[in-house]
Amino acid sequence: MALIVQKFGGTSVGTVERIEQVAEKIKKFREGGDDIVVVVSAMSGETNRLIDLAKQIGDQPVPRELDVLVSTGEQVTIALLAMALMKRNVPAVSYTGNQVRILTDSAHNKARILQIDDHKLRTDLKAGRVVVVAGFQGVDENGNITTLGRGGSDTTGVALAAALKADECQIYTDVDGVYTTDPRVVPQAQRLEKITFEEMLEMASLGSKVLQIRSVEFAGKYNVPLRVLHSFKEGPGTLITIDEEESMEQPIISGIAFNRDEAKLTIRGVPDIPGVAFKILGPISSANVEVDMIVQNVAHDNTTDFTFTVHRNDYQNALQVLENTARELGAREVSGDTKIAKVSIVGVGMRSHAGVASQMFEALAKENINIQMISTSEIKVSVVIEEKYLELAVRALHTAFELDAPATKSE
Ligand code: ADP
Ligand code: ASP
Ligand code: MG
């Protein structure tokens, strides 16, 4: 008999009918004899609705109160699912994060799980009950409700699976697995049978929101067998694995990730002296703004230009800080651009292949897409381009790296 943690995302519990369908599915699963812990998200759109309510009161909701508010979304779905299970004579019980005692740190709106008390869960499982746990939420040591950041129910699922040493953590969603790229943008995208933790972590970090980054980190760290599946369609889904099979079949690129979440800032004509990068980025970091890509130009006339990207939500804040710095350093000018996008190719196969980056640049050049910034690591290459070319770029790269589904491969 296996112990499985199953997480159902927002669209999968988006209506009462869907919740009934999920209950039906769990009932069938249970008939196979497995123990099941279920994690659910809020109904789709609900978390956004709650955040919007808070913003009607003020632009910057108090983080603690925002957590009290947004955690209610998941409290609704756990109760409804437990009711739907009991209606089908499946013994079930629902718990909030606090009731389980999913202990987190106190970083409201982006808390990290520190410890999970599995006592109640084990007792219920032993008594033959399906345990339904609210995703996305926990409690800090002072009893404050916390939430784990958008998409955090994935992390609840994986963390529970790790704590319970479950045989598998199954993430049920509205796609039947992890694809070579977002199938909503590239219809020719293909489902991957397997992807390594390392690649999945890059894909998630670089914008593929199919799994929350932290859930992948957690699964890698605690070696939790993780699978992404469609909630209502049969199929094997995608297994996230440790092993990198070095086969001839190994594609160089496993997937393409992208995001529109960043903005670019440039400071021109700063003196090219030691410590200047720190003078520019130190205040940005003190303002609690995270920097992603950084480019410093070769100096000319003893001055240089410096460009970096930040999250779009931090753009105004970063711009103000940079304008102050520019005055202090006597820089020539500051400019910014929010209409950028980042496109990244990801694959462990890159390690053993040279020339992947230039193949990427060639494909973009053919489409006349200008590259504004580049960053590389062992298993990824990212470029910043104008946002309006994002979809074109992703499609072109998908074709260039031979990721298109065979039936629709363009000539
Ligand atoms: P849930 O509400 O179930 O958590 P999400 O919306 O968070 O679902 O994640 C599923 C979505 O992720 C898909 O509908 C898809 O559009 C998007 N997505 C982005 N990149 C990928 C990818 N590489 N493979 C599969 N889905 C992806
Ligand atoms: N409901 C939360 C969100 O929308 C958490 C989740 O769905 O994973 O971000
Ligand atoms: Mg999600």
User: Worst-scoring range by mean pLDDT, 30-34, 235-239, 307-311?
Assistant: 30-34
pLDDT in tens, 132-159: 999 999 999 999 999 999 999 999 999 9
Please report, for the chain, the start and end positions of each structural domain, with discontinuous segments joined by +: 3-173
Number of Cβ within 10 Å of residue 21's Cβ equals 17
Integer angstrom CA distances of residue 239 from 132, 171, 351: 23, 10, 22
Integer angstrom CA distances of residue 258 from 292, 294, 410: 14, 18, 22
Pocket residues: Cβ below 6 A from ligand 1: 9-12, 41, 151, 173-175, 178-179, 181-184, 208-210, 255
Q: Which residues of 236-249 are buried (b: 16+ CB within 10 A; e: fewer)?
A: ebbbbbeeeeeeee
pLDDT at 411: 43
Examine the pLDDT at 361 and tell me if it is beyond 60: yes
Task: Assign 409 a pLDDT band (cuts: 50, 70, 90).
Answer: very low
pTM greater than the 0.75 cutoff: yes
Q: Distance, CA 78 to ligand 2 centroid (Å)? A: 13
pLDDT in tens, 230-279: 999 999 999 998 876 655 566 789 999 999 999 999 999 999 989 999 99
Residue 31 β-bridge partners: none
CATH class for the region spanning 3-173:
alpha beta
Q: Distance, CA 184 to ligand 3 centroid (Å)? A: 15
pLDDT in tens, 172-223: 999 999 999 999 999 999 999 999 999 999 999 999 999 999 999 999 999 9
Tokens representing 54 are 């808070």
Tell me the best of 209, 232, 233 to mutate to test the pocket of ligand 1, counting ligand atoms within 8 Å of each CB and taking the most: 209
Integer angstrom CA distances of residue 123 from 120, 127, 168, 277, 284: 5, 6, 20, 56, 49
Across residues 35-53, what is the average pLDDT?
Answer: 98
Separation CA 400–CA 411 (nearest Å): 11
